[in-house]
Structure formats: C-alpha cells, structure tokens
Structure 1
Amino acid sequence: MKLTKEDIQFIDTYLENSDVVFADIRMEMVDHVASDIENQIEAGDTRSFYDIFKDYMVKHKAQLLNDNKQFLKLADKKIWKTFVQQLKSPLTPILFLASCLGFYILFQNYSIETFRLFISIIPLVGLTGFILTYVVYQGVNRIKDSQ
C-alpha cells in the first residue's frame, strides 16, 4: 500500500515543525519514514496512518533528530574547513586589500550618497555575474547531455 499525498505532506510538515529545516534532508527523512510505515501496513498492521505514524515517532524521533543534528555539524565543519583553506590562499589577502583600498578611494573622492550607491550596487553586480555563470553552465551541460 502506498501512502497518500496528504500522509506524505503530514510527515513533511511534522519534520519541518521539528526543526528539520533543510528541504533535501527532510525529503530523505520523509522517504525513510514513509517507507517504514508502508512496510508496517504491508506486514498486516491495520491501524490508521496516524496511529502508526505516532507510534513510529515515539520510537524513532530522537534518532531522526540526532541524525539531522549530526549532518548539520558535519556540514558546518566542512564549510569552516573550506573557509580556512580559502584564507590560506595568497589571492585572498590581495583581494581583501584591493577591496579595502577601492572602498577607501571611493569614500575619499565621492559624496556619501555616491558611496552608498556603489555599496548597494556591488552585491547586485556580483549576483548578476553568478546568475549569468550559472545559466551559461546549465546551457553547456544541456548541450553536452543532448549529444
């Protein structure tokens, strides 16, 4: 027996309300919980979805949340490791100093309104560059996949 869309949404909402905030992790957990509940139903459990789900969560919620916490710790550790590696790169202090010098020159030579305009536009330019790079990359991948 397959669970209904409403049952799956119920599991997703429950996990989201239990602080499993990242959708990709939550999807994996929803799939795991739904599979276990379906297996119980196929094994002959005649209780309602809600009763099976409630008992399942009583037994497994702590482990699911602990797995989520461990994954987040691992992800944080990986991010910090990458950040520290980037700090060790010789290009990083050069870019930092160039940025500071550029902002200092802007601040010294232009009015505060112009400086604020530059400060607000620079992130938008960076984001636009990122989006364009992503779109081009996806286009190249589609061309490679279609060949």
Structure 2
Amino acid sequence: MVDLNISRAPSAPESDDARLRKAIELLYFGYRAFTAPPDRILEERGLGRVHHRILYFVGRNPQISVNALLGVLGVTKQALNAPLRQLVDMGLVATDTAAHDRRVRQLQLTVEGEALEARLTGAQMVQLEAAFARGGAQAEAGWHAVMEALVGAGR
C-alpha cells in the first residue's frame, strides 16, 4: 500500500484540502490497481484499455449501434474507429446491419470476444468483491453513492 501521509504528521488534524487530496490519491491508486490485472491480459493480445471498454459495453448491450456506443463511451468516431476495427479484425466483435435501417451498424461480441470480456471483467469483479467484503455493506453503499455523484457531476 502506498503511504498517503507523506506530507503531514500522523497526529495533525486533516484539513479539507488534505482530505480531498487524499481522496484524489486514493482514486488514482485504486484505479491503477483496478486496471492492472486486465491490462496484463490485454497486453498479451496487443490491446489496451479502450479495447476493454468497447468489449465491456458491447457485451452489456448486444446489438448496440456504433452511434449509441459512441455516446456511452463519450468518444468521437475517429477515436473509436481504429480500436473497434482492430477488435473486428481479431474476431472479437461482429458487426451487422440493423433490420430497421441498413445504414445502422450494430455490434455484438463473438464467442471469443465474450470469453475475453468475461476474463477481463471477471478479474475486476474479484477485486471489487474482495474490497466490498472488507469494507462492509455500508462502505459499499457509500462507494456506489460517491461514484454515482461523480458520474452525475461529469454530465
């Protein structure tokens, strides 16, 4: 664990600034720990975090349109094009045209894509399960409330 009390004495009262900086540091270090296991799996295939996000949200939303995926990810078409094309070329994501409109491209995971997504997300689910078990139900509920507030603030 990283020592987050480097800049102040352990017995000193925590100012609002120090409290918020500690929260920022925990978020950074927590995210690094949360993404490390999937990053190692992705690296084996020459993929990165953007590929994981695509696999995750396509897996959670089968037949999602490319435009809807752009909205979920909050990226431009240019930013999505290369990694999505790579996943399609690797046989992890399949595309087809929507029955209601041939101009709409829909996405779904292939069997191989489902297996990779399950492995990536499964590693993170194990981490969250352990953290929630350690923190308890009240801490888990608080974490969800904080994350939802952050998501809402970013809109």
Give the TM-score category using the shorter length: under 0.3
**Larger relative contact order (C-alpha < 8 A, sep ≥ 6)?**
2
Higher normalized strand content (fraction of residues): 2
TM-score, length-scaled by structure 1: 0.24
Higher normalized helix content (fraction of residues): 1
